[in-house]
Structure 1
C-alpha cells in the first residue's frame, strides 16, 4: 500500500446512523437477533450436511459452502456495527478499513460465482440427467467450488490496492456503517477515475456475465420442464431448483436496487438502509428457503436433534 495514503490518514470514523440516536438501542437488539439467526441457521445447515453422508451430493455441498459465505459475510460487518451502536466507538484503522472492503467484495463475488455454479448443477440435473454423475462428479464439484472462491478472492485485489493509494485529505468521516467503496471514494481528494473505471469493468465483466450464465441456465431449465408431460413431473423438477432461483432473485434484486441506478439518484443516507437490507436479507432467508420444503434436510435435522437429545439424556443419567 502506498505510503502517501497513510501519511494523509491513519484511520476513519464510521458515522453509522447519527440522525437517529434514539433508535440505537432498538437497532442493536434487532440486529443482534438477526445476526444470531443468520449465524445459527447457517451453522445448523453446515452441520446437518456434514453429519449426513447421504447429503454429500453436489447440490448440498454447494449449499454448505453458501452457508460458510453467509456466516463470514455478515461477521465481517455486523459485529463491528453492533459495537458502534452499543459503545459509540466508531473508529476504524486504515488497514482495518481496507481489510473490510476486501472481505466484503471477495465474499460477495464468491457468492455470485457459487450461485452460478449451482445454476449449472441444476441445469445438468434437469436438462442432462443421464450424464449428471459424470458431469457433476466429486472432482468437478470441488473444481467449481475452488474456482468460485479463487476468482472471488482474486478479483478485488487490484481494486483494494488502487483505493489504498488514494489520498484522503478532506474528511475522515465515512457516512456509512462500514467501509463501503462509494462513500470512501467521496472522501478522496485524488482522481478516482481509475478506480471507478475498474469497478465498472469488473462489475460488467464478472457480475453481468455471472447473471447472464444463471439466466441462460434457467432458460434451458424452464424449457426442459415445460416439455415434461405430467404435471407431477413438472412440479417435482421445478421444486429441485425453486430454492436456488429464489436466492438468486433476492440477491440480484437487492444489488440492482442498490447499484443499478443513475448516479443522480444516489443518497448515502437512504442507501445505508438498502445496504443493510442487502447484507441481511440473503443470509437470513437462505437457511429458511433451503429447509422449508427440503425433506432431506428436515429429516437429517430431526435425526441430529434426536441424537443430541440421546447424548444429553445419557450424560445426565450418569
Structure 2
C-alpha cells in the first residue's frame, strides 16, 4: 500500500466491524502515531466503542519508537498482564491495531502525585507480566538520538553537549548494579494512564490502565518510576514516596537514588526525542516539539547542577559497597 493509511482502509480490514455502521473521530494526544475512537452499532442498536491505533513506520525509522511489528507484539503482551487494553484486531500490513476502549479519565501531570498507589500497582503488574521480545536501554537510546541529531544537523538546546560527560557518568553509575530487567513501558507520561471507572471522576482512581507501547521493551524497572517522576516533575520527596509504594519493604536509599537519576536521564534523553521529532517529523503540527525539548532540558539541567548529584551517583554505583537491591 502506498501513501498514508486512512482510517477507512484500516476499518475495512477488521472482521469485527464488518457490516456495522461506524463513526470515528481522532483522539487527543498522539504525538507520533494516529489514534482514533471508533463507535460501531450492532444489529440491536447497541453502540460499542473501540480505539484504532495506526502506526507510522517513519516514527521508528527516525529512532523515535520501536518497529511497528514489535509494538504490535508488545501491546498484545501488555494486554495479557491485564494492564494494557485488550487487542481485538491486528493489521500488520498497514500496520494498525484495534483495541478495546477503556472508559475512564485520562490523567494529567497534576493527577499523578495523588495516584501513586494505583500507578505503582499497574507498573508492578506490567513488570511481572510476559517478557517483551526486545530490550530497551535509556543510555543507548540517548546515544542513538544524539547521533541522529548530529547526522542531520538538528539543533539541540544550548549547553546540551557540554553536559554530556556528566550525563555519561550517570549512565555508568546506573549500569554498575542494575536490577533484573522486566517488561517496561518506558514512556510513562501522565496521559498514558487511564483511571478506571465509568468516567474516572470522583477523586483519586482506584485502578489504572496503561496505554501506548511505542517505546516498550525489557528494562530496569526503576526507569519506569523515574520516567513517571520526570513527566510529573516530582520533587525528591515525591520520588522517595513513589519508590516506597512500588518496592514496599524492599525499598532502599539506593533504589530511591536510582529513581532520581532515572528521572534526570529521562529528561536528558527525551530532550533529544523532541529535538528529532521537531527536525524530522512534526507529526502533530499543533504541538511545539522544540519548546518541549527546551523544557525537558531545563529540568535535566536543574538536576545535573544540583549539589546532591554526586551522592546519588555514589549511592547507585555502590562506591565502597554493593547497594541493596530487591531480589
Would you call these one fold, judging by a TM-score over 0.5? Answer: no
Into which bin does the TM-score normalised by the smaller protein fall? under 0.3
TM-score (norm 1): 0.24
TM-score, normalised to structure 2, is 0.24
Higher Rg: 1
Give the helix-richer structure, 1 or 2: 1
